[in-house]
Amino acid sequence: MLTEKKCKNKVVVILGPNASGKSDIAIRLAKDFNGEIISADSRQVYRGMDIGSGKVKGYIIKDGKFTVYVSDGVPHYMISIVSPKTDFNVAKYKRMAFEALKHIISKKKIPIICGGTGFWIKSIVDDLPIPRVKPDWKLRKKLSILPCEKLYDILKKKDPERTKDIDKFNKIRLIRAIEICEKIGKVPKIINSKREKLDFLQIGIKWPKEVLHERIKKRLQDRLKKGMIEEVYNLHKSGVTWKRLESFGLEYRWVSKYIKGEITKKDMFEKLYLEIKHYAKRQMTWFKRDNRIIWLNSYTDIFNIVKNFLKVENS
């Protein structure tokens, strides 16, 4: 069994590109090592965005002040916590994720962070300082009419380092990054934190390119069969604007265009498949910059490394 002394403040991170199988692995680890999961996915935080964001099937419960999403008997945090009409950024994520980490550790369980949003994961692992910059609505209005390519170029001139980990097709994030640069120059570097030190094990799920592309295609086909188009339609019907839906990118962007009649269903699938592949490539480029990540795809290997990290002992 796990001994409290040996596992105190240890955190497992399961990361990787879209369709790599992170969620299933995280759930297996949670069952094997008495863990609870914290999602690190920038779209899974939104209620109603289920199929398109790849949420595992589950239901909501309350655990004190925490909204907990239970899937296969395993508690998940940071899933379905806000309306898609509401802005949710890395600063809010970091604050709430650290609260969840503290809560899980207090229950003598193992926190498992799982996701593919690299900057969110890094904000926790490296305890990044997140600047508190108030919205500049005038600047946002001015920038909102520009295409993503132009916004990316503006950001690259102001803060080249930030462009290495940002989704170049996510207009909301690009505008927010430029907004921060306008106010403070650039995102501040890592500083010493007063927070209690945590010990992280980062495991990346990696597949050969051809295998990953096939997994992406199959997952996209499955999502369409499960009702992804209906999900996007219902989100719009509930009051989420087309502009807002498209800002979430990938599935929500292209399905919205299809529903509005701007592209055919065939074009929607092809463009979406291509964009997800490109996004997965950008995710891998970002993650590969961190040499602390151990890359695997065999659950046996992952299990053994986690076991050694946690120093599991029989007693």
3-state secondary structure labels for all residues of 193-260: CCCCCCEEEEEEECCCHHHHHHHHHHHHHHHHHHCHHHHHHHHHHCCCCHHHHHHCCHHHHHHHHHHC
Residue 183: pLDDT band with limits 50, 70, 90: confident
297 is an annotated ligand-binding site residue: no
19 is an annotated ligand-binding site residue: yes
| pLDDT of 315 | 41
21 is an annotated ligand-binding site residue: yes
pLDDT surpassing 80 at residue 3: no
188 is an annotated ligand-binding site residue: no
For the stretch 35-47, pLDDT in tens is 999 999 999 999 9
Q: Could you tell me the pTM of the whole model?
A: 0.85
Q: Percent of the chain having pLDDT more than 90?
A: 74
97 is an annotated ligand-binding site residue: no
Q: How is residue 33 annotated by DSSP?
A: H
256 is an annotated ligand-binding site residue: no
For the stretch 65-86, pLDDT in tens is 999 999 999 999 999 999 999 9
| pLDDT of 264 | 98
Residue 314: pLDDT band with limits 50, 70, 90: very low
91 is an annotated ligand-binding site residue: no
18 is an annotated ligand-binding site residue: yes
Give the lowest-confidence range in 16-20, 124-128, 194-198, 308-312. 194-198
Residue 171: pLDDT band with limits 50, 70, 90: confident
| pLDDT of 85 | 96
